[in-house]
Amino acid sequence: MKILLTGSAGFIGTAVGELLEADGHEVVRLDLMLPDAHGAAQPPSGTHHLDVRDAGSWVDLLRGVDVVCHQAAMVGAGVTVRDLPHYAGHNDLGTAALLAAMHEAGVGRLVLASSMVVYGEGRYRCAEHDEQVPPPRDVAALDAGDFENHCPRCGRVLEWAVVGEAARLDPRSSYAASKVAQEHYTSAWVRQAGGRAVALRYHNVYGPGMPRDTPYSGVAALFRSSLERGEPPQVFEDGGQVRDFVHVTDVARANLAALRAVVEGETLAYAAYNVASGRPVRILDVARLVAEGSRRRVAPRVTGGYRLGDVRHVVASPARATSELGFTADVGPEQGLPAFATAPLRT
Ligand SMILES: NC(=O)c1ccc[n+]([C@@H]2O[C@H](COP(=O)([O-])OP(=O)(O)OC[C@H]3O[C@@H](n4cnc5c(N)ncnc54)[C@H](O)[C@@H]3O)[C@@H](O)[C@H]2O)c1
């Protein structure tokens, strides 16, 4: 396959590009080198230093391409309100411009990097009242150290349940809103342009090449950076938040499987898949596992602090990716997180 890879210099784009080349494909790399992600670093050799928002001006690069693998985005939790136009620009406008340019160049296949943030609060069940949508967590309860969601009918603590791809989309941040918008533009393009696309909803991705300690880095990198300074990793709430941590090499494998399936026409015209390890883990255990692999074995510190926008639990089922794309994660948290403690990071 000839694949145009956007965001190719990023954390995930780098791993995807390496795997695609190792698998014998031709990769056209493109990245804007956003300063938030790369500082003043120059593009790696062989990378077209271009902006997806201007895709109309580099349509020629798309000619003869079989499929686009769209990883480029501004990432993170939407740290300040001032970031809103940047998410809308790089992610929403960038995707729309790319889709229009693909149509112009006759490229009708896309794999889009989406995210579990499209699900918002995750899925919950009450022992008495079955599935429930909890209201936002109460500040007084959080201040008193009660971090769980409660049944709106009887007040019992709700248990988390795995989220499937058909779940209602419920973005809670500007970043999440932009990832939902990318999916919606893509499904509209599929209908209008007669294309075929797959959205891969990655869970918490970690592994070599992850960005270091920035407000936009994932929690595993933050834990690791604390350990390197000889400080205990700071764990919010009671550490009982449950997530799925998926290794970047597995995310690359999921992309390869999706690219093949979309080019072969083996998927629905538009389909979304969770990309997760299938082995959920508590955040306190993430901190412990990273600490275990670190040279400085400092025990994590549970702070009891909280951030109002954080969701309590979000865990997805990767079953659909397994049955339809043949993807299963190789690296579990017990193996991957201790190894991550000493893996090279992007500076
Ligand atoms: N890292 C995670 O845990 C995670 C989880 C879910 C989804 N994702 C998604 O995966 C994709 C890759 O994320 P990442 O973690 O590798 O982030 P990253 O910041 O390391 O990589 C993103 C790359 O996109 C480039 N880029 C941004 N705007 C661009 C533009 N307008 N034109 C061209 N290039 C542009 C950046 O320069 C950067 O190299 C993103 O779409 C992100 O939303 C990541």
Taking only the tens place, the pLDDT of each residue in 254-271 is 999 999 999 999 999 999
**What gap in Å lies between CA 297 and CA 275, rounded to an integer?**
31
Structure confidence at residue 77 as a pLDDT band (50, 70, 90) = low
Task: Output phi, psi for 168, to 5 deg.
Answer: -60, 140
| Gap from CA of 183 to ligand 1 centroid (Å) | 15
Pairs from 40-46 (Cβ < 8 Å, separation ≥ 24):
43/9, 44/8, 44/9
Per-residue pLDDT tens over the stretch 150-189: 999 999 999 999 999 999 999 988 999 999 999 999 999 9
Query: Does position 126 have pLDDT exceeding 90, yes or no?
Result: yes
Provide the pLDDT for residue 172.
84
Q: Nearest residue CA, atom 21 of ligand 1?
A: 10
pTM, two decimals, is 0.96
Query: Does position 81 have pLDDT exceeding 90, yes or no?
Result: no
Q: Which residue out of 4, 6, 8, 12 has the highest number of ligand 1 atoms within 8 Å of its CB and is therefore the one to mutate?
A: 12
Helix (H, G, I), strand (E, B) or coil at 267: coil
Residue with tokens 């403690």: 341
Q: What is the mean pLDDT of residues 231-236?
A: 96
Helix (H, G, I), strand (E, B) or coil at 39: coil
**What gap in Å lies between CA 243 and CA 223, rounded to an integer?**
15
Q: Which residue out of 57, 75, 255 has the highest number of ligand 1 atoms within 8 Å of its CB and is therefore the one to mutate?
A: 75
Percentage of residues in the chain with pLDDT exceeding 90?
Answer: 88
